[in-house]
């Protein structure tokens, strides 16, 4: 179970990073002009969204139903 939870956190971080990078590239936005706080919020939003679904699919039960 611990390995699944570690995998969940690692995958959530990677998906958050990939989603943020992809969004910035698609809209051709430089993080300097987009503001670092907005970039961080975008990263957190993607990571949490991925974490919720990964918790469901991996069955780690971090979020109780």
Residues 31/24, Cβ–Cβ less than 8 Å: yes
Q: Quick one: which of 40, 39, 49, 38 has its CA closest to 15?
A: 49
The model's pLDDT over 8-65, given as tens digits with 9 standing for 90+, comes to 999 999 999 999 999 999 999 987 888 889 999 999 999 999 999 999 999 998 887 7
Q: What's the pLDDT tens digit per position in 51-60?
A: 999 999 999 9
Tallying the residues shown for the chain, one arrives at 65
What pTM does this model have?
A: 0.88
Round to whole Å and give the CA distance between 58 and 65.
Answer: 14
Radius of gyration of the chain (CA): 14
Domain boundaries, the chain: 12-58
């Amino acid at each position: 179970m611990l390995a699944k939870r570690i995998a969940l956190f690692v995958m959530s971080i990677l998906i958050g990073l990939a989603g943020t990078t992809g969004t910035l590239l698609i809209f051709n936005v430089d993080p300097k002009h987009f503001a670092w706080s907005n970039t961080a919020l975008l990263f957190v939003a993607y990571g949490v969204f991925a974490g919720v679904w990964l918790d469901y699919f991996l069955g780690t039960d971090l979020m109780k139903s």
